[in-house]
Amino acid sequence: MSENKIDLYNLINSLSLGVLIVDKYGKIIYLNCEGLKILDLNEIKVLNKNAIDILPEFKMESFLKDNRKHKAHTLKYNNSDIIVVKKTITNNDSIEGAYAFFHRLSIYKKFIRQFDTEIETAHLLKTIMETTNDAIVYVNKEGYIEMLSKPYAEFLMIDRHKVIGKHVTEVIENTRMHTVIKTGISEIAEIQQIKGNKMIATRIPIFVNGKVVGAVGKVLFRDIDELNALYKKISKIEKELNLYKDEFKKVNIAKYSLDNIISKSKSMDYLKSLTKRAAKTNSNILILGESGTGKELFAHAIHNLSERANGPFIKVNCGAIPYELLESELFGYEEGSFTGAAKGGKIGKFKAADGGTIFLDEIGDLPMNMQVKLLRVLQDKEIEKIGSTESEEVDVRVIAATNRDLEKMVSEGMFRLDLYYRLNVLTIKIPPLKDRKDDIPILSRHLVQKISKRENILVNDVSDKTLEYLKRYDWPGNVRELENILERAINFLDEDTIIKPEHLPPRITGIKKEKNIRSLKQTLEEIERQTIIESLIFSNGNKTKAANILDISRTSLYEKIAKYNINI
Ligand SMILES: Nc1ncnc2c1ncn2[C@@H]1O[C@H](COP(=O)(O)OP(=O)(O)OP(=O)(O)O)[C@@H](O)[C@H]1O
């Protein structure tokens, strides 16, 4: 075989297309590698054999006989459809043989499908370029512009139709699109100076079958100053937001833990261990107890012991919020939902407590219509702002407290039974102070320390005698009353640093006073002295004001201060 012929066969062999060559008698003289593969044949079996015997489906003999120059058709071979294009080989008008190019039809169908998809994609791309608000350019693998979006052209102040087909370096200042094509490496958010503006450009190479076929460039911001201004604005807002978040956290945290609940009695020990267990669950908790027994302290402690400890703790005093504001306080409202509604609306306490605990104090004071709404929230775990048609999910644990007899209220139709059941999943009933008098000494000493620190008054102790009196009293106002009495005593201390019975009000020390009854004059003088001291405390030492309160003249007040040796 001549060298030219070998080259030619090598070339044909490398084609991904079947090639069959027959001489003028229809004898197979060549079938290339791809052809053998498509037809699943062996070269030895076919070479120099008559095509009519080996490949009758190709009808090479009849093609030669018919003296046709060119024919394209499909045929069936081993159950696959083959597409064939035949041509005669001529030399000075005489037929020397014929060749056939062939392939599986399915391959062409795939090409056609791909082609259709490419047309569709190109159409899509064109539409994007026509309608986008972004500055986008698409270049081919040589760096020539194929597409340029309208905003980009406007920014560059060029006619975009005129630049299509031009090399990107001729059109866009400081471009690196051609480099991206070469390196195949994306460049994200790089600064590019165009027409004196610093822009942020992103360039992405497009790969097909592992080869770069082009690149897309996008200008993210027209001008970096715009971005800087935006960034400054965002970071300012972010700082403000964090400040508010911190403030919100500071205000809405549970300050007290179980350690802040001072006690020595067995009943309180039991309650504390119950609290620990209850806190770990996610159930609603009802805290019952007379006023001043420490219900709020327990609510704080439960939150702090629970898995929600890092979430907000929001307290709502149901009895202190005016009836008409309760719903908006609890659930919030949308902007413009009623006259006087704040701009931007308002988030309610339930939303504020999302991920944490809401403490509904004085739940017994909740009006009936709100009881219905609260029940719905507890059932569905969803809230609906006033003026909103959509409900919002909230993840809140409810701790409710009251000093009222809820069961009695239920039987009187003042409190909904279903709500009572929902709230009363776990109950913590705090005994009144009179039923746990063992707590009084330790509590008194703790409270004295707390008050003396707060008031900056030195107090060393509470005398045993005083404690005796304190233990004898029944404390209808519970720990809060004890705290008030001790605060009052501290203010009456004068030079003393130990709280003695004389620093307590008569209603407490008077209990066992029968044996020691003083004269009427002495008693009246004691009352007069204390009243003067109280008026002076109230008026912050302002004697004119104190005299007015007491309804006596200033001179008379001065005389009495001197008489009773009151140290202002
Ligand atoms: N065991 C205790 N240890 C320390 N301080 C206590 C204890 N019990 C109550 N106090 C204090 O007594 C005061 C009243 O407590 P708290 O407000 O928790 O009572 P309450 O039952 O929620 O009252 P109310 O029903 O009036 O809302 C608070 O100053 C609290 O710190």
What tens digit of pLDDT does each residue of 399-455 get? 999 999 999 999 999 999 999 999 998 999 999 999 999 999 999 999 999 999 998
Q: According to DSSP H, which parts of 15-54 are helical?
A: 33-39, 43-46, 51-54
pLDDT at 207 over 90: no
For residue 457, what are its two tokens? 């008054």
Over residues 470-477, mean pLDDT: 93
Characterise 208 by phi-psi region: left (phi > 0), alpha (psi -120 to 50), beta (else). Answer: beta
Name which residue sits closest to atom 18 of ligand 1, judged by CA. Answer: 294
Q: What is the pLDDT of residue 390?
A: 85
Within 10 Å of residue 87's Cβ, how many Cβ atoms? 15
Report the nearest-CA residue for atom 15 of ligand 1.
294
pLDDT band, residue 189 (cuts 50/70/90): confident
pLDDT on residue 6 = 62
Nearest residue by C-alpha to atom 13 in ligand 1: 480
- Amino acid 396: pLDDT: 95
pLDDT of residue 227: 63
Ligand 1 pocket member 483 (CB < 6 A): yes
Residue 174 tokens read as 């400081």
* Per-chain mean pLDDT for the chain: 87
What domains lie within the chain, and their CATH numbers?
A: 3-109 (3.30.450.20), 132-225 (3.30.450.20), 258-431 (3.40.50.300), 441-563 (1.10.8.60)
Please determine, for residue 515, whether its predicted confidence score (pLDDT) is greater than 60. no
For residue 158, the SS3 value is coil
Give residue 105's pLDDT band: very low, low, confident or very high (50, 70, 90): confident
Q: Which residues contact 492 (CB under 8 A, 6 or more apart)?
A: 503, 530, 533
Q: For residue 480, report the distance from its CA to the centre of ligand 1, in Å.
A: 6
Mean pLDDT over residues 351-360, rounded? Answer: 94
Q: Is 364 in the pocket of ligand 1 (CB under 6 A)?
A: no
pLDDT band of residue 322 (cuts 50, 70, 90) is: confident
Q: Which pLDDT belongs to residue 5?
A: 61
Residue 389's pLDDT is 84
**Residue 129 pLDDT level (bands cut at 50, 70, 90):** confident
Q: Which residues contact 21 (CB under 8 A, 6 or more apart)?
A: 28, 29, 30, 31, 89, 97, 98, 99
For atom 28 of ligand 1, the residue with the nearest CA is: 480
Q: What is the crossing angle of helices 478-491 and 464-472, to 10°?
A: 140
1 has a pLDDT exceeding 60: no
Query: Within 132-167, where are the H helices?
Result: 150-156, 160-163
Contact 195, 219 (CB under 8 A): no
Distance CA 254, CA 359 (A): 10
> What spacing in Å lies between the alpha carbon of 315 and ligand 1's midpoint?
14
Chain-centroid distance of CA 151 in Å reads 35
Q: Give the mean pLDDT of 294-319.
A: 94
Q: How far apart are CA 388 and CA 345, in angstroms?
A: 10
pLDDT at 340 over 90: no
Using most ligand atoms within 8 A of CB, pick from 480, 485, 487 the residue to mutate for ligand 1: 480
Confidence of residue 155 (pLDDT cuts 50, 70, 90): confident
pLDDT band at 345 (very low <50, low <70, confident <90, very high): confident
318 lines ligand 1 (CB under 6 A): no
pLDDT confidence bin for 520, thresholds 50/70/90: confident
Stretch 68-93: mean pLDDT, rounded?
Answer: 86
Mean pLDDT of 328-343: 82
Mean pLDDT, range 295-324, rounded to an integer: 93
Residues 137 and 152 sit within 8 Å (Cβ to Cβ): yes
What would the mean pLDDT of 486-511 be, rounded to a whole number?
87
Contacting residues for 97 by C-beta, under 8 A, at least 6 apart: 21, 22, 23, 24, 29, 64, 88, 89
Residue-wise pLDDT for 246-304, tens only, equals 777 777 788 899 999 999 999 999 999 999 999 999 999 999 999 999 999 999 999 99
263 lines ligand 1 (CB under 6 A): yes
The answer to whether the CB of 104 is under 6 A from ligand 1 is no
Neighbour count for residue 451 (Cβ, 10 Å):
19
- Please report the atom of ligand 1 found closest to the CA of residue 256: 31
> What is the separation, in whole angstroms, between the first and last Cα of the chain?
131
Asked if the model's pLDDT at residue 232 lies above 90, the reply is no
* Nearest alpha carbon, ligand 1 atom 5: 261
Model confidence band, residue 61 (pLDDT cutoffs 50, 70, 90): very high
Tokens of 108: 């062409």
Residue 67's pLDDT is 79
The phi and psi torsions of 334 (rounded to 5 degrees) equal: -85, 155
pLDDT at 225 (0 to 100): 65
CA 288 / ligand 1 centre spacing (Å)? 12
In this prediction, residue 513 carries a pLDDT of 45
Centroid of ligand 1 to alpha carbon of 534 (angstroms): 24
What pLDDT digit, counting tens, does each position of 374-410 carry? 999 999 999 998 988 888 999 999 999 999 999 999 9
- Does residue 432's CB lie within 6 angstroms of at least one atom of ligand 1? no
